[in-house]
Amino acid sequence: MLCHSFLSKTAFCLSSYVLLHASRKTFSNVKVSISAQWTPSILNDSSPAFSPGETWQDNRLFEDEKQATLFLGILDSIFLFSYALGLYLSGVIGDRVNLRYVLCFGLCGSAAVEFVFGTLTEWLHIYNLYLYSSLWVLNGLLQSAVWPCVVAVMGNWFGKAGRGFVFGLWSACASVGNILGAFLASSVLKYGYEYAFLVTSVVQFAGGVVVFFGLLTSPKEVGLSLESETGLGPIETDTDSHKPLMSDEEDEVEVEVYGRRGQSVEQPVEPPAESPQAIGFLKAFCLPGVLPYSLAYACLKLVNYSFFFWLPFYLSNNYKWKEAQADRLSVWYDVGGIIGGTLQGLISDFMGKRAPVLVVSLMLAIGALVGYSRSPNDQVINGVLLAITGFFIGGPSNIISSAISADLGRQDALRGSKEALATVTGIVDGTGSIGAAAGQVKMKKKSNWRIKQNEFGSMRTAGSIVFITPLLVRELRAMWTERRARQRQL
Amino acid sequence: MKALCSCMRFVALVLILNLFFQASYQLTELQVCNLCGGIILNSSAVGQFCFFSAGRIDGRCCLRNDTTNDPEHIIGLDLSNCSLTCVQDLQGASTAFMIDLSFNPIVNISDTAFQGFNKLNYMILPQNIDCPGSNTSWEKVEIKKGNRHCEGQRNMCNETGQLSMNCPENSLCAPFGPGFFECSCAENFRGYKCLREGEFPALQVFGPLAASTVVISVLLWATQRRKAKSL
């Protein structure tokens, strides 16, 4: 009975996060239809406007597709910013209010906002920039409530034992959500983009309802308790987790714990209510490793998010494929990301070192990006190249977001202080998302998406490599000295 | 009883307003017939056309109804000798087959004046004015007795197979006046830019979804939360 209830908890948390990502993916998948809805028809210079005006000309929210695209990019950035902000805030809230309520509120509230954003505005024909922006800010704030709650619930139910496996599943969560969202959206897209929003928001709302009726947030609710129950979240107080990653310890299982994290804007749980912030923001920022990882993560996140937000748009604009087809094809990037995250996580676990795996993968990623930008107009080849690119970019992104907690959490300055770890991880994750958000708008200003993606993608990837290099050097040196020490022993 | 009375009063008011608007619409429609004084002469081109088409002359208009249920619409318009200088909007005359604007000191005709006049097949204009939509929109253009005669409106749509080339995807071309065409959504397509296809199967999507949500919630509540004590 315990086993199946563990399973159901896992299923809850995973599916909440899956639903969230599905609805985010919906937005990126219908960008072509939305920008068509907001602009009048394009004409050759000499031809007169099409009549009747209501069918072809009258929606003039933006004069042409370029401006509409720019605004869509701004919406993405707005969402990311408010999501990052919400992560900081929801930590405070999640501590004081019942987790089940917060989780349900986040899911259902976000679903309602998405419904208003995509479906209601279309049914009522209200197209207003400020309305869209403020709704999307609200959406970001509501969605940010989900991740910390999910992490906290998992922390309540799972002791050290099952955590590696669970976090292993988790990394696939975001990508599964993307895939689900892509399929949902593409199936109903032909009826109108408003129905894509309708379906995903209703599904998400249903998920919220199920959570409300079924979730037990902690074993205490049914009178159970775990041996290593913490009530504090996955950042443990046990000494094992604070052993540095750099040394060859057999508790690589612990390393794995942080080796599997969702690949997007997550943050481990808020600091617990009892102890105050052990380290101030600025101090945490100055710790060794925080800065390089933040910057590297920002770069990588930008590339990842560019693909996430814009891939279907790019595919259907560049190759003139139908939007629904482009949506289905964009799934391959996530598939590659799942495989990449899992495989590279495993490899780096065996090696005990993160940086070499990262750097190799990132270098190959540059090659993959270049290769992808030269992809021919063929769906099969494009899909394969997408999967390869996803493998090499999704993998490091996943590991970096987990390596942060692993490495940084093992520094002497932070030993024994779980609040500080959360702060540090929060800083790195938050900075990463803000950097990614800022980069979105900058990228959209350029018109030729393909070239810019190639350049910027490679630049950003190279940037990540640059930032990780000092850590790589340190790890390689450590590996070398260990090897020599072991040889001398023999 | 009182409610019924006020309800009936409301219905009566609606009916009266309806009749009023219908009458006023017909009034506007006939306004073009009284744009200038006089009536159509039997000897004029429009007059003869009216006679052969079994229409009724009213002011400068020739009216006819296709079936007894339909209201009458204009099939011919004779505005010759009306001292018109500018032709902008001939409201209500979009169903006309024949329009006569000869012997008017017309300076210009607005570009969209004849938009929607897809039945217009014969026009008589002063010699100095070009046929609306340029001479290429008409089968035959000739100058007779000091007037320009435009005959046979050409269909602007390139008819190559099912969907014409003029119109964007998912829409069909139809004539919309001399030199104009309109793109209306093809079968099964609707909405802005004809992007939407078919009817959303709401019942098939939400029925199973609602059912499964209820079932799962009940199941989970029964097995999980019922044992929960409040913390």
pLDDT value at residue A175: 80
Closest CA to B79 of B123, B48, B118: B123
Share of chain A above pLDDT 90, in %: 14
Mode of pairing for the β-strands spanning B61-64 and B73-78: antiparallel
Chain A nearest-CA distance from B230, in A, is 7
pLDDT value at residue A6: 66
Q: Rounded to 5 degrees, what are φ and ψ at A234?
A: -70, -10
Are the beta carbons of A213 and B167 separated by less than 8 Å?
A: no
pLDDT tier at B84, thresholds 50, 70, 90: confident
Q: What six digits make up the tokens of B169? A: 């995807």
Whether the predicted pLDDT of A87 surpasses 90: no
Choice among A189-193, A279-283, A468-472 with the minimum mean pLDDT: A279-283
Residue A401: what residue type? Answer: S
Q: Please give the Cα distance from A6 to A308 (Å, whole number).
A: 31
pLDDT value at residue A228: 41
Q: Please give the Cα distance from B194 to B182 (Å, whole number).
A: 13
- Do B43 and B88 belong together in one domain? yes
* Residue B14: inside a domain: no
pLDDT tier at A134, thresholds 50, 70, 90: very high
Which domain does B185 fall in, by range? Answer: 155-199
DSSP H helices, A319-378, are 323-351, 355-373
Mark which residues 198-237 of A lie under 8 Å from B by CB.
Answer: 199, 202-203, 206, 209-210, 212-216, 218, 220-223
- Do B133 and B195 belong together in one domain? no
pLDDT value at residue A297: 77
Terminal CA-CA length for chain A: 50
Q: If you ran DSSP here, which 8-state letter would residue A405 be given? A: I
Q: Kindly report, residue by residue over B31-58, the tens digit of the pLDDT.
A: 788 888 888 888 888 888 888 888 888 8
Q: Please give the Cα distance from A119 to A98 (Å, whole number).
A: 31
Are the beta carbons of B193 and A37 separated by less than 8 Å?
A: yes
> In chain B, what is the greatest distance between 2 CA atoms, to the nearest angstrom?
102
* Residue B206: inside a domain: no
Chain A nearest-CA distance from B231, in A, is 6
pLDDT value at residue A3: 58
- Do B187 and B135 belong together in one domain? no
Beta strands in A101-243 (DSSP E): none
* Residue that terminates a domain, selected from B117, B137, B154: B154
pLDDT value at residue B221: 85
Q: Kindly report, residue by residue over B139-180, the tens digit of the pLDDT.
A: 889 998 888 999 988 887 876 555 556 788 888 888 888 888
Are the beta carbons of B196 and A55 separated by less than 8 Å?
A: no
Are the beta carbons of B231 and A221 separated by less than 8 Å?
A: yes
Are the beta carbons of A5 and B227 separated by less than 8 Å?
A: no
Whether the predicted pLDDT of A420 surpasses 70: no
- Do B67 and B169 belong together in one domain? no
- Do B48 and B108 belong together in one domain? yes
**For the residues B210-220, what does the mean pLDDT come to?**
91
Q: Which of B183, B198, B199 sits opposite A56 (nearest CB)?
A: B183
To the nearest whole number, what is the mean pLDDT of chain B?
82
Contact residues on chain B for A56, CB-CB shorter than 8 A: 168, 183, 193
Share of chain A above pLDDT 70, in %: 62
pLDDT value at residue A113: 96
Q: For chain B, give the number of residues.
A: 231
**Is the CB of residue A188 less than 8 Å away from at least one CB of chain B?**
yes
pLDDT tier at A280, thresholds 50, 70, 90: low
pLDDT value at residue A321: 85
**For the residues A27-52, what does the mean pLDDT come to?**
82
Domain count, chain B: 2
Are the beta carbons of A50 and B168 separated by less than 8 Å?
A: yes
pLDDT value at residue A136: 95
Instruction: Find all residues with CB under 8 Å of B146, minimum gap 6, and list them.
Output: B127
Choice among A36-45, A392-401, B179-188 with the minimum mean pLDDT: A392-401
Are the beta carbons of B182 and A221 separated by less than 8 Å?
A: no
- Do B34 and B124 belong together in one domain? yes
Q: Please give the Cα distance from A175 to B94 (Å, whole number).
A: 58
pLDDT value at residue A38: 92
Higher pLDDT, A68 or A404: A68
Are the beta carbons of B200 and A223 separated by less than 8 Å?
A: no
**For the residues A319-348, what does the mean pLDDT come to?**
82
**Cβ-contact B171, B186 below 8 angstroms:** yes
- Do B35 and B142 belong together in one domain? yes
Cα angle: B82, vertex B87, B91; to 5 degrees: 95
pLDDT value at residue A130: 95
* Residue B93: inside a domain: yes
Contact residues on chain A for B209, CB-CB shorter than 8 A: 202-203, 206
pLDDT value at residue A270: 39
Supply the ipTM of this predicted assembly: 0.71
Interface with A, mutate which of B193, B203, B226 (most A CBs under 10 A): B193
Helices A2-29 & A323-351 angle (0-180, nearest 10):
130
Whether the predicted pLDDT of A241 surpasses 50: no
Whether the predicted pLDDT of A117 surpasses 90: yes
Q: Please give the Cα distance from A17 to A143 (Å, whole number).
A: 10
pLDDT value at residue A419: 52
Q: Please give the Cα distance from B31 to B18 (Å, whole number).
A: 20
A186-196 per-residue burial string, b: 16 or more CB within 10 A, e: under 16: bbbbbbbbbbb
Q: What six digits make up the tokens of A284? A: 């945490």
Whether the predicted pLDDT of A373 surpasses 80: no
Higher pLDDT, B18 or A453: B18
**For the residues A424-447, what does the mean pLDDT come to?**
66
Are the beta carbons of A55 and B171 separated by less than 8 Å?
A: yes
pLDDT tier at A253, thresholds 50, 70, 90: very low
- Do B57 and B131 belong together in one domain? yes
Q: Please give the Cα distance from A293 to A400 (Å, whole number).
A: 7
Higher pLDDT, A465 or A456: A465
**Cβ-contact A171, A341 below 8 angstroms:** yes
Going from the N-terminus, what domains does chain A have, and what CATH number goes with each? 1-226+274-489 (1.20.1250.20)
Cα angle: B188, vertex B194, B195; to 5 degrees: 95
Choice among A223-232, A352-361, A415-424 with the minimum mean pLDDT: A223-232
Q: Please give the Cα distance from A337 to A394 (Å, whole number).
A: 4
- Do B136 and B61 belong together in one domain? yes
Q: How many CB pairs under 8 A join A and B?
A: 94
Contact residues on chain B for A221, CB-CB shorter than 8 A: 228-229, 231
Q: Please give the Cα distance from A349 to A48 (Å, whole number).
A: 65
Are the beta carbons of B192 and A37 separated by less than 8 Å?
A: yes
Whether residue A356 is preceded by a cis peptide bond, meaning omega within 30 degrees of 0, is no
pLDDT value at residue A263: 32
* A265 class by beta-carbon count within 10 Å (0-12 exposed, 13-18 middle, 19+ buried): buried
pLDDT value at residue A107: 93
Cα angle: A200, vertex A203, A204; to 5 degrees: 85
**For the residues A209-230, what does the mean pLDDT come to?**
68
**For the residues A312-338, what does the mean pLDDT come to?**
83
Nearest chain B residue to A98, by CA: B231
pLDDT value at residue A268: 40
Interface with A, mutate which of B167, B224, B230 (most A CBs under 10 A): B224
Q: What six digits make up the tokens of B214? A: 């209820």
- Do B141 and B187 belong together in one domain? no
Higher pLDDT, B109 or A288: B109
Whether the predicted pLDDT of B111 surpasses 90: no
* Residue B207: inside a domain: no
pLDDT value at residue A32: 87
Q: If you ran DSSP here, which 8-state letter would residue A408 be given? A: I
* Residue B195: inside a domain: yes
* Residue B66: inside a domain: yes
Are the beta carbons of A190 and B196 separated by less than 8 Å?
A: yes
Q: What six digits make up the tokens of A119? A: 């479906």
* Residue that terminates a domain, selected from B154, B186, B221: B154
**Cβ-contact A341, A398 below 8 angstroms:** yes
Closest CA to A431 of A282, A258, A297: A297
pLDDT value at residue A133: 96
* Residue B168: inside a domain: yes
Instruction: Look up tokens 């999507």; give the residue.
Output: B205
Helix (H) or strand (E) holding B86: strand B86-87
Q: Rounded to 5 degrees, what are φ and ψ at A49?
A: -65, 150
Whether the predicted pLDDT of A139 surpasses 90: yes
* Residue B145: inside a domain: yes
Q: Please give the Cα distance from A47 to B112 (Å, whole number).
A: 14
pLDDT value at residue A141: 92
Q: Which of A54, A191, A221 sits opposite B229 (nearest CB)?
A: A221
- Do B190 and B93 belong together in one domain? no
**For the residues B123-144, what does the mean pLDDT come to?**
87
pTM score, whole prediction:
0.73
Are the beta carbons of B184 and A188 separated by less than 8 Å?
A: no
Q: What six digits make up the tokens of A325? A: 């087809």
pLDDT value at residue A203: 93
Q: What residues of chain B have any CB closer than 8 angstroms to a CB in chain A?
A: 115, 167-168, 171, 176, 180-185, 191-200, 205-206, 209-210, 213, 216-221, 224-225, 227-229, 231
Helix (H) or strand (E) holding A448: none
To the nearest whole number, what is the mean pLDDT of chain A?
73
pLDDT value at residue A281: 61
Nearest chain B residue to A58, by CA: B192
Chain B nearest-CA distance from A191, in A, is 5
**Is the CB of residue A36 less than 8 Å away from at least one CB of chain B?**
yes
Rama region for A125: left / alpha / beta (φ>0; ψ in -120 to 50; rest): left
Bridge partners for B196 per DSSP: B190
- Do B43 and B126 belong together in one domain? yes
Whether the predicted pLDDT of A204 surpasses 60: yes
Q: What is the 3-state secondary structure (H, E, C) of chain A?
A: CHHHHHHHHHHHHHHHHHHHHHHHHHHHHCHHHHHHHHCCCCCCCCCCCCECHHHHCCCCCCCCHHHHHHHHHHHHHHHHHHHHHHHHHHHHHHHHCCHHHHHHHHHHHHHHHHHHHHHHHHHCCCCCHHHHHHHHHHHHHHHCCHHHHHHHHHHHHCCHHHHHHHHHHHHHHHHHHHHHHHHHHHHHHHHCHHHHHHHHHHHHHHHHHHHHHHCCCCHHHHCCCCCCCCCCCCCCCCHHHHCCCCCCCCCHHHHHHCCCCCCCCCCCCCCCCCCCCCCCHHHHHCCCCHHHHHHHHHHHHHHHHHHHHHHHHHHHHHCCCCHHHHHHHHHHHHHHHHHHHHHHHHHHHHHCCCHHHHHHHHHHHHHHHHHHHCCCCCHHHHHHHHHHHHHHHHHHHHHHHHHHHHHHCCCHHHCCCHHHHHHHHHHHHHHHHHHHHHHHHHHHHCCCHHHHHHHHHHHHHHHHHHHHHHHHHHHHHHHHHHHHHHHHHC
3-state helix, strand and coil shares in percent for chain B, rounded to the nearest 5: 30, 25, 45
Q: For chain A, give the number of residues.
A: 490
